[in-house]
Every structure is written in structure tokens, then in C-alpha cells.
Amino acid sequence: SLLYPYGPDQGDETNPKHDDGTSEAIALSVPFTFYGKTYQTAFVNNNGVISFDEPIRQYTPDPFPLVDGHPFVAPYWADVDNVLGGDIFYRQTTDPVLLEDISQDITQYFPKNPFTPTWALVVTWDHVAYYGSTSEKGNTFQAVLTTDSKMFYIIFNYWDIQWTTGAASDGDAETGLGGTPAHVGFNSGDDTNFYNIPGSQTDAIINITTSSNVKVPGRWVFRVDDFQVTGVDPPQLNNDCWL
């Protein structure tokens, strides 16, 4: 499977069933460096965002760079409502089997920088519904933060994306489409540095399960300590990006 193992049997924590909710503050057992700044606290926010230092409850995505100075990672920033359906799981792990899988994957994509991680934060949105939904549609996607304490990577995995927009973001309650679609990318918090995955905040983002920057449909991988874009030449959408 594209997704790394997740769920209660993996020891995952589960976010509360609460619209626009968030996890408790997660004290990172290994500090994480993002755009040159190191953070020791993260939040898993229901609306498809992993933030540093403080939670993010905003449900309609804004374009990056954000002016409010919040550093965060957006695997799929949109108006998730896990009260209506789905679960949000997370765990910090040093499991050697998982870390070996991550090591093999990242070293394959970045062969010039062999990578042996010592820690990962695995966050999974499992068949989550959208706000105002009158359908059974759900999105399943995952973000992994991982490091060997020298290099810092983030992996986005998209398994099943059925909707782009909640009803309060002008989306259609039956289809989960239209309005202001989901945003995928990275905001450094410094008003200058950011990255938007092609298709963000357009109807095309529903096709992210077929796109990649590492030639694995549905997977995007970035080195984020000193942020580096790999395999993508925005704004053109070449065949390597959108299959």
C-alpha cells in the first residue's frame, strides 16, 4: 500500500470528533527543522494541516504565503468534519521496521543523500468527511515527518480523494466540489518562503492521487530543513506531475 501502517493497532492516538478540532500539543521527541527553524511542538489539525507551535482551526484555505506568520504543513487543507465521518490518527515512532521502509523509499528518491531516519511522526486522515456533507464521500491521505537529525523530510501520501471543498467554503453539499478547493503545500511562516503543489485551490487537486514528484502516483516527498523542490517545475504541469 502507498500508506504506511496506521490506526489503533499501531498505537496511534485519535483526534477528538470535533468540527475544526485539533490534537493536544504534541511534544516532539526529536525536534523538527522546517525552513531553517527548529520546532519542538506540533499540532495535528482536523482540517488537513500539521502546524508548529500553535493549532490552526481555519477551515477555508488561503493562498500561501500567509501573512499571519504561522508555520505549517498542509497535506490537504480543507474543511474536514470528522463528526460526520472518518478518523484522524497520529503517532511518533522509532519502530525499526517502519523506519527501514521510510529509509528505503527516501534513499530511492534521493540517492545522493542516503537517509537512515531515527524518528517519524505519522499522521493519517482516514476516510474523513467534509463539512455540510450529504454524501458518503471520504478522503484518505497521510503525512509523514521524518529525520535522522541532520536531514528532515516530509512525505505526502494520497490514497483516495473524493472531495475538495466543504459546504462553508462554497462547496456543493452533495458532491463536495466547487467553491474554494483544498490547498496542498508548505508555509514557512516568514511571509516569503512557501511552496504550493500544482493544482492547489483548483478543481484539479482532486487528481492528486495520480500525481507525484518522485514518480510514484499519489506520493510527494520534500526535503524541508532547507526547503528543496524536487522533480517539479512549476507552474508548468509536465507529464511527470500530472499523469
pLDDT on residue 1 = 79
pLDDT on residue 231 = 67
Q: What is the pLDDT of residues 189-208, one digit of tens each?
A: 998 899 999 999 999 999 99
Q: What is the pLDDT of residues 17-51, one digit of tens each?
A: 999 999 999 999 999 999 999 999 999 999 999 99
The single-letter code of the amino acid at 176 is G
- Terminal Cα-to-Cα distance of the chain (whole angstroms): 19
Spatial neighbors of 148 by CB under 8 A, at least 6 apart, are 115, 116, 117, 118
Q: What is the pLDDT of residues 9-22, one digit of tens each?
A: 999 999 999 999 99
Q: What is the pLDDT of residues 218-228, one digit of tens each?
A: 999 999 998 87
Query: Residues in the chain, how many?
Result: 243
pTM, whole model, 2 decimals? Answer: 0.94
The single-letter code of the amino acid at 25 is A
pLDDT on residue 69 = 84
User: How much is the average pLDDT of 208-219?
Assistant: 96
Q: Is the pLDDT of residue 124 over 60?
A: yes
Q: Is the pLDDT of residue 235 over 50?
A: no
CB 231 within 8 A of CB 110: no
Q: Which three cell numbers stand for residue 180?
A: 474554494
Read off the pLDDT band of 73 (50, 70, 90).
Answer: very high
- Tell me the pLDDT of the chain averaged across its residues: 93
Residue 134's φ and ψ, nearest 5 degrees, are -115, 15
Q: Using CA atoms, how far apart are residues 240 and 238, in angstroms rounded to an integer?
A: 5
pLDDT on residue 68 = 83
Q: Which three cell numbers stand for residue 86?
A: 472518518
